[in-house]
Structure 1
Amino acid sequence: MLLTDAPGADAQGSATTTLQTPADYLKQYYGYDRFRPMQEDIVRSIVGGRDTVVLMPTGGGKSVCFQIPALMLPGLTVVISPLIALMKDQVGALHMNGIPAAYYNSTQTSREQHAIEDDCLKGKLKLLYVSPEKLLTEAFFEFLKHTNLSLFAIDEAHCISSWGHDFRPEYTQLHVLKEQFPTVPTIALTATADKLTRADIATRLGMVDPAVFISSFNRTNLSLKVMPGQNRIQQIIRLLQQKPNTSGIIYCLSRKSTESLAAKLQEKGFNAAFYHAKMDPADRARTQEAFLRDDVRIMCATIAFGMGIDKSNVRWVIHYNMPKNIESFYQEIGRAGRDGADAQTVLFYSFADVATYKDMLAENNPANLGLQLAKLERMQQYADAHTCRRQILLSYFSEDLPEPCGNCDVCRDPRVTFDGTILAQKALSAMVRTGERVPMNLLVDILRGSRSQAVMQGGYDQIKTYGAGRDLRFEEWRSYIHQLINIGVIEVAYDQHYALRRGILADAVLKNGRKIELVRPDDAPKPAPVEKPKTKTEVNRDELFEQLRTLRKQLADEQNVPPYVIFTDTTLEDMARQKPTTPDALRNVSGVGERKLQLFGRQFLATITNYVRGRVQAGEKPKGSTQLQTLDLFNQGMTIDEIAVERTLKSSSIASHLVQLARAGYDIDLVSLLDPIERREIEKAIREVGLEEGRLKPVFEYLNGRYDYAKLTLVVGLMEQ
């Protein structure tokens, strides 16, 4: 997309002439009154010319950290981004905010690329997005040497580290940026990196004494829940029925799973699609676009679907299978609730997922096998946890959460432990008597007294502990054995077909009577709590929010952008709460910047105004309705005094309404409401007496009460136009 496609690009120069502080830019272009934690400090670090490393969770506002410096600094900011889809969406969002930007990649013709280069050389662009592969070509480097560079921003910077969970070899060559452009500051940004990876990023990029900002990883708006892996599809359907008309992602381990799950959900009437790396590229792009635009609500996807997803209104993320490490898990759940509103995350977990990953690792035998196994074990510990899950996540990223979060399944439903020593002894005894050669499922069958083929062929029905645990269900025994594995009573011989054998605590339990605490399994999701009936106000707010959401979708389709690029859900919720009916009032809504006010303010104000009028006719008095009632009577030809009598208000209040409406752009001729001689006399009195804090009483008294407060209010309104 070229600069000429960017709405408001021509206005960029004049718009920034009055802007001085980072907060000024934030309000002008993004419509927010205050930065999120750390953002302003990061902006000042970059504008000050210092290399900067930013570790900020997905949804924490990383883009603003380099986009505002790009606006404040005099030259061009080059953004290195790994995915074309992400570039396209971010540039589209920048255009919608009135910021001149472009992306430069292999999807464009040479003519388009030359036009972008020309815009860069002429200083027309503030940000240029490029892939590392394109950046590192000799021709592009030569082009950059002729531009006025202000900043390099490296997104998804964890890709540079071999310790990271998403290592990309082409990123390792980015150290040449410092070699070729030593005076240009660099900012490296990532959402997920442990201590080892963080240090590696700065070193590999050749940064000089970088400022390091580590934002809190505590995404408090995300609820965390782990559910047993049995009957996953039925459990997913139950969860989705509780969240109608919301967008979400279901991550699956295999391509086949994405397709079969999407088909089953479609059969149940859900608006679902699938996405994986082996799809036809055109189909894959269309599917992703449909999800971004809310034409598809549910995406069943492999991890191929992710890094390019900047959709802010994802209300839930479900993991059909356990991810292979905590970094991946954290990044994937971080795609929910990017707008700051509440979002739900659910992880389905079974021991089979762990076994599958270990089989894959054994088959591929990667160079960092030990590291991957260790990270898989940490992920498994999270899934098995009986303590606050958020504390476990944050501790992985070296952040302490002193108190349990209250927003995970463990906190909401604290686990009650019981003395499981006898159960542990039964399991160990059966295991030892089989020669420590049987895997988990077969051991459970032996304990439960099953007459399965494997039990009978192995002669396991003859051992002393055969049937010693027939009082427990299969799933219960699996849960208890899994807990025994995690605490070291039992271990799995992965190289012996997953046979169970004695762990480091086994002898203490069998011979020394060591006490073992276990937790009863939660076999099924708890029924959804019965919702309280909504109040009249809540119902109306939901109604207005849906009207605004419908308008947003219509405008997004017309502009050929995803709906969240127009306004986020949280901005629409703020509109529905405040119910602004004038442009000035709409400016007070969080997320409404000047360019979007120009582009879309009229349509959203019309929707809100019509809604407010409807509520007035229904006998309610929502916010903004009093001025509109005055306007309706004024348009019927009534005078100020007549409206005041009709509405049992003071004439001065009616005059104030008319001044506010005129200021907001309504067609009201204030001049016609005043005698020219009276107006000149009142203006003279105002200039002589002055208006201390807007008080009209001194002016009224100076004129000996010859003119009422309504006329004084009208004259003040005209003088302020």
Structure 2
Amino acid sequence: MTLHSAIASTTPTFDSLEQALKHYFGYDRFRPGQRHIVETALRGQDLLVIMPTGGGKSLCYQLPALLKPGLMVVVSPLIALMQDQVETLNDNGIPATFLNSSLSNEHVQQRTAQLLRGEIKLLYVAPERLLNDRFLPFLDRLHDALGLVAIAIDEAHCVSEWGHDFRPEYRQLSQIRQRYPTVPLLALTATATQRVQQDIVVQLALRQPDVYVASFNRPNLYYEVRPKERNAYADLLREIRSHRHGSCIVYCFSRKLVDETADRLQQDGIVALPYHAGLSDRVRTENQTRFIRDDVQVMVATVAFGMGIDKPDVRLVVHYNLPRNLEGYYQEAGRAGRDGEPSRCLLFFNTGDVSKINYLIDQKPDEAEQMIARQQLRQVLDYAEGLECRRTIQLRYFGEDFSGNCQQCDNCLNPKPIEDRTVDAQKFLSCVARCKERFGMNYIIEVLRGSRSSKIQQRGHHKLSTYGIGSDRSAEDWKHLGRSLLHQGLLDETSDGYSVLRLNARSWEVMRGQRPVQMVATRSQRSSVADDSQAASTRELLMDLLRSLRKTIANEQSVPPYVIFADSSLRLMVQSRPTTLEEFASISGVGSHKLTQYGPRFTETIRQFCQEHGLLAQTVTPVVDEPTSKPPLSARRRQILNLHQQGIAPAQIALECDLRLGTIYDNLATLLEWGEVIDVDQLVDPERQQAILGAIAQVGDDALRTIRDQVGEDYDFNEIRIMRSVWRMQQLS
């Protein structure tokens, strides 16, 4: 295939798309999905592209613009986004420009002349200008003289009232399809639920679009939700100081809080600047430029900041207040780690923020908008209060399944006890069924707990067999169960603003006893007693001491502190207080290299702290007659192995060890590969083993999800983990 470009007076010829990619952008290969999208755009087909931040959406319309004659018009909602895109393109020698209110009349005239002469390949405009009565005739001239390659609509989620950033002016873009019926439309956004995707197609009148939805998973991002307590600012300051070699964004609820937080950080020696709509255009532009150029480490901002910013090395994004919806949170947090490097997303959660958001919702004049906003707020609360894997909750929101146990969020790295809740789940789901799948979670819980409210009496639901059968548990516990069922895909919820619970095929499997339900125990059900204030204070002292040690080592090596150990690893050290190298090796985040390099200093520090504060050191089961060819077993792994060899089921082992079920299977798989005696038939039904092994033989043993896609979704990731270890052992024999 021979491809041509029509930039200025030169017309480079390329033998492949990869050659064109290298020529214009310097990349040797496309990122996942990009080539398919570019090929579709070159065929002149409408497109809807959902690709997460950092996935390379912009290139998907920029390269086709360079390979076809004519002009690509890009609709972009923010001046900052346009400027950033155009500067990047110009720096690559690509003729692009923008027209917006920041330009003088003289500059507008210069650029319109360039456009008419065919010297520009990409034109960025805001939707308001595109639909302006004076601009449309000019666009007609460009269409007639040069031809339009396509019209790319960036941030396309703005067209949908179900999106997190709805803009009424985007609704009017359907006029473009009517005016230029033969010009392809390319809609692109980083975030869109299935409901929003459908709305985009309808509102923009896309014609049989090729829809490409990339995975929303950002494996390099660590997610954490932390209670916002009185010392939250000190917590924030520590986080920022621990990322002194990386840029940080702190999102705040209001302009006032932005200014106050930026001032406090400046007083504490942090180079920080504010960004919000109350500042002049000049100040906002100047502050943003200083941040992009690394003259400033921290930008404290409202959500007005960040859209379209391509800064790749943001290492920390903090939401100092509760976000208004999960989609917006995903996109804002996603501004961390665009370069694929490890980065942190921290959300401070205070229930006081809920009343503030509800107040703003009440100010909306449209009842339908209020209903949507309240549902979005409930979803945020589900995420903030959820005890399951953060990624599972996030990705399910976007309609994507995830197996959990990501080991890159606070819930996975600090696992809570697992318990069997099959019977309670059957009660809950049965109540949904008997209420004819017409009500939300709160109503179902009222029926289960035997509420005497008039609405239940009027509907006759006090006569149901499920009425009052859950009175022994609190409403909060039932709510936790209901959320867990949703997160695990064992229950559905409508997304039209009413949040009605609906059963699915898996729901009926649970009710028929064909599928067990295991979930994280709520705090009130855990056997451990809450620590008193003195114990909490001691933990904080040790955490500060370990942070100080980490900072010292980081300074010695001239690296950011998080390179040594993440805060999550330090917290595990505080919890378990390892004083030997064997115990230290069991901490998440401690590999063999770090064990050798940092283990002695950290364990010595912890040992001295324990002695000074009268704390008992952790005891370790001695390793006796361990073959030299096997790695030494930690106390935890030895406990798991012993329980398994006694014939105890993995779910019960998880309860005994206070670990997640997935963690138990991970350890058993590792022990199997280390040559320990593991009863595979006890873990995986013999009739299912060969199917999994056959799938691994076809697709390889690198990725569990790839194996799962090959063998089918009826197979559990845990049994696939075990059989992958079996397959690896077979390859060695």
Provide the rounded CA distance (Å) in 1 between the counterparts of 2:17 and 2:520: 57
Matched, 1:113 2:117: no
Q: Structure 1 residues 53 and 418 mapped into 2: Cα distance closer, same or farther (>3 Å)?
A: closer
Normalising by the residue count of structure 2, what TM-score does the alignment of the two structures yield? 0.57
Deviation at 1:30, TM superposition (A): 1.7
Q: Give, in angstroms, the shift of residue 365 of structure 1.
A: 5.5
- Structure 2: segments with no counterpart, 5+ residues: 422-473, 484-518, 561-733
Q: Distance in 2 between matches of 1:359 and 1:69?
A: 46
Residue 304 of structure 1: SS of its match in structure 2?
Answer: coil
**Mapped partners of 1:352, 1:535: distance in 2:** 37
Cα contact 1:57–1:215 (8 A) shared by 2? yes
Could you say which residue in structure 2 is the equivalent of 1:404? 405
Task: Quote the Cα distance in structure 2 between the aligned partners of 1:60 and 1:34.
Answer: 13
Residues 132/28 of structure 1: CA separation in 2 closer, same or farther (3 Å cut): same
Q: Which residue of 2 aligns with 1:189?
A: 188
Post-superposition offset of 1:533: 9.7
**Is 2:417–2:520's contact at 8 Å kept on the other side of the alignment?**
no
1:318 equivalenced with 2:318 (yes/no): yes
Judged with a 3 Å threshold, the aligned counterparts in structure 2 of structure 1 residues 105 and 151 are, in CA distance, closer, same or farther, namely same
CA distance in 2, matches of 1:22, 1:185: 20
Deviates most, 363-372 or 64-73: 363-372
Percent identity, aligned pairs only, is 43
Taking a change above 3 Å as real, the CA distance of residues 46 and 273 of structure 1, as seen in their structure-2 partners, is same
Is 1:414 matched with 2:409?
no
Counterpart AA for 2:277: A
Please tell me the root mean square deviation across aligned C-alpha atoms, in Å.
3.0
2:217 corresponds to 1:218: yes
Distance 1:417 1:259, change over 3 A: farther
Q: Displacement, 1:245?
A: 2.8
Deviation at 1:106, TM superposition (A): 1.9
- Match of 1:518? 522
Which residue of structure 1 aligns with residue 153 of structure 2? 154
Structure 1: which amino acid aligns with 2:295? D
Tell me the equivalent position of 1:130: 125
The question of whether the paired residues in 1 share the 8 Å contact of 2:391 and 2:404 is answered with no
Change (3 A) 1:232 1:397: same
Deviation at 1:535, TM superposition (A): 12
Tell me which amino acid in the other structure corresponds to 1:387: E
Determine if the alignment matches structure 1 residue 87 to structure 2 residue 111: no
Residue aligned with 2:259, SS: helix
- Amino acid corresponding to residue 53 of structure 1 in structure 2: L
Deviations 1:277-315 (A, max 9, x none): 112232222212221221111011111112242222211
1:16–1:300 Cα change, 3 Å: same
Which among 55, 72, 76 is matched to residue 77 of structure 1?
72
Task: Give the conservation status (yes or no) of the 8 Å contact 2:194–2:399.
Answer: yes
Q: Which amino acid aligns with 1:176?
A: Q
Taking the aligned partners of 2:166 and 2:554, their CA distance within structure 1 comes to 51
Distance 1:203 1:24 in 2: 36
Letter in 2 for 1:209: Q
| Offset, 1:352 | 1.2
The superposition leaves residues 511-547 of structure 1 with CA deviations (integer Å, 9 ceiling, x where unpaired) of xxxx9942378988866676599899x96999xxxxx
CA apart distance, 1:356: 2.0
Per-residue deviation, 1:16:
5.3
The secondary structure found in structure 2 opposite 1:78 is strand
CA distance in 2, matches of 1:94, 1:419: 55
Aligned-pair CA distance for 1:325: 0.8
Q: Which residue of structure 1 aligns with residue 721 of structure 2?
A: none
Query: Contact conserved, 1:104 with 1:113, CA < 8 A, in 2?
Result: yes
Indicate if the aligned counterparts of 1:86 and 1:307 stay in contact, CA closer than 8 A.
yes
Q: Confirm or deny that 1:394 pairs with 2:395.
A: yes
Q: Is 2:232 aligned against 1:232?
A: yes
The 3 A distance-change label for structure 1 pair 29 and 311 is same
Q: 1:33 to 1:217 in 2, by over 3 A?
A: same
TM-score (norm 1): 0.58
Deviations 1:107-160 (A, max 9, x none): 223332222222222221110111111111122211122222111010011111
Which residue does 2:168 correspond to in 1?
169
Question: Aligned partners of 1:186, 1:359: CA distance in 2, in Å?
Answer: 38
* Greater RCO (Cα-Cα under 8 Å, separation 6 or more): 1
- 1:14-25 matches, within 5 Å, as 17-25=12-20
Query: For residue 216 of structure 1, what is the amino acid of its counterpart?
Result: S
Q: Cα deviations across residues 461-498 of structure 1 (Å, max 9, x unaligned)?
A: xxxxxxxxxxxxxxxxxxx9976765589xxxxxxxxx
Give the SS at the match of 2:86.
helix
Residue 306 of structure 2: aligned partner:
306
Q: CA deviation at 1:19?
A: 2.0
Superposed, 1:513-552 pairs within 5 Å as: 517-519=521-523
Task: Name the CA shift for 1:290/1:482 in 2 (closer, same or farther; >3 Å).
Answer: farther
Q: Distance in 2 between matches of 1:15 and 1:349?
A: 56
Aligned partner of 1:203 in structure 2 is: 202
1:41 and 2:41 are equivalent in the alignment: no
Q: CA deviation at 1:52?
A: 0.2
Pair 15,311 (structure 1): closer, same or farther in 2 beyond 3 Å: farther
- How far off its partner does 1:362 sit? 2.9
Amino acid at match of 2:360: M
**2:291 alignment partner in structure 1:** 291
* SS of equivalent residue, structure 1 residue 378: helix
Q: Secondary structure at the match of 1:335?
A: coil
- Give distance in 2, aligned partners of 1:304 and 1:532: 33
Check conservation: 1:52, 1:211, Cα contact below 8 A: yes
Tell me, yes or no, if the aligned pair for 2:262 and 2:273 is still in contact at 8 Å. Answer: yes
Question: For 1:382-401, what per-residue CA distance to the aligned partner results, in whole angstroms no more than 9, with x for missing partners?
Answer: 11111110111001000111
Closer/same/farther in 2, CA of residues 183 and 364 from structure 1, 3 Å limit: closer
What is the DSSP-based 3-state SS (H/G/I as helix, E as strand, rest coil) of the residue aligned with 2:141? coil
User: Which residue matches 2:278?
Assistant: 278
Give the direction of change, closer, same or farther, for the CA distance of 1:242–1:484 in structure 2 (3 Å limit): farther
Shift, 1:326, TM fit: 0.4
**Relative to 1, partners in 2 of residues 1:405 and 1:14: Cα closer, same or farther, differing over 3 Å?**
farther
Asked whether the 8 Å contact 2:78–2:126 carries over to 1, the reply is yes
Give yes or no for contact 2:152–2:187 (8 Å, CA) kept in 1. yes
CA distance in 1 between counterparts of 2:365 and 2:104 reads 42
Question: SS of the residue aligned with 2:134?
Answer: helix
Residues in 1 aligned to 2:241 and 2:11: alpha-carbon distance in whole angstroms: 48
> Within 1, Cα distance between the matches of 2:20 and 2:394?
34
Equivalent in the alignment of 1:381: 382
Distance 2:130 2:166 in 1: 18
AA at the equivalent of 1:175: S
User: Hey, what's the Cα distance between the residues in 2 that align with 1:535 and 1:117?
Assistant: 53
The CA distance in 1 between the partners of 2:479 and 2:365, in whole Å, is 24
Take 1:105 and 1:363, find their aligned partners in 2: how far apart are those partners?
31
Q: Which amino acid aligns with 2:185?
A: T
CA contact (8 A) 1:418 1:518 kept: no
- Report the CA distance shift for 1:297/1:533 in structure 2 as closer, same or farther (over 3 A): closer
Equivalent residues of 1:419, 1:518 under 8 A apart: no
2-structure distance, mates of 1:344, 1:484: 31
Q: For residues 55 and 218 of structure 2, what CA distance do their matches in structure 1 show?
A: 8
Amino acid at match of 1:325: N
Q: 1:541 to 1:351 in 2, by over 3 A?
A: closer
Whole-Å Cα distance in 1 between the matches of residues 207 and 93 of structure 2? 33
| Corresponding residue of 2:179 | 180
Mark the structure with the bigger radius of gyration: 1
Q: In 2, distance between residues paired with 1:296 and 1:251? A: 16
Cα deviation, residue 221, structure 1: 1.0
Q: Is the 8 A contact 1:351 1:482 kept in 2?
A: no
User: 2:237 aligns to what SS in structure 1?
Assistant: helix
Give how far 1:220 is off: 0.8
Counterparts of 2:213 and 2:11, CA distance in 1: 30
Tell me the alpha carbon deviations over residues 637-687 of structure 1, each in whole angstroms, 9 at most, x when there is no partner: xxxxxxxxxxxxxxxxxxxxxxxxxxxxxxxxxxxxxxxxxxxxxxxxxxx
The aligned residue for residue 424 of structure 1 is none
Which residue of the partner structure matches residue 134 of structure 2?
139
SS in 2 for 1:223: strand
- Separation (CA, whole Å) in 2 of partners of 1:486 and 1:375: 18
Residue 267 (1) aligns with residue 267 (2): yes
Number of matched residues?
A: 448
Describe the SS at the equivalent of 1:273: strand
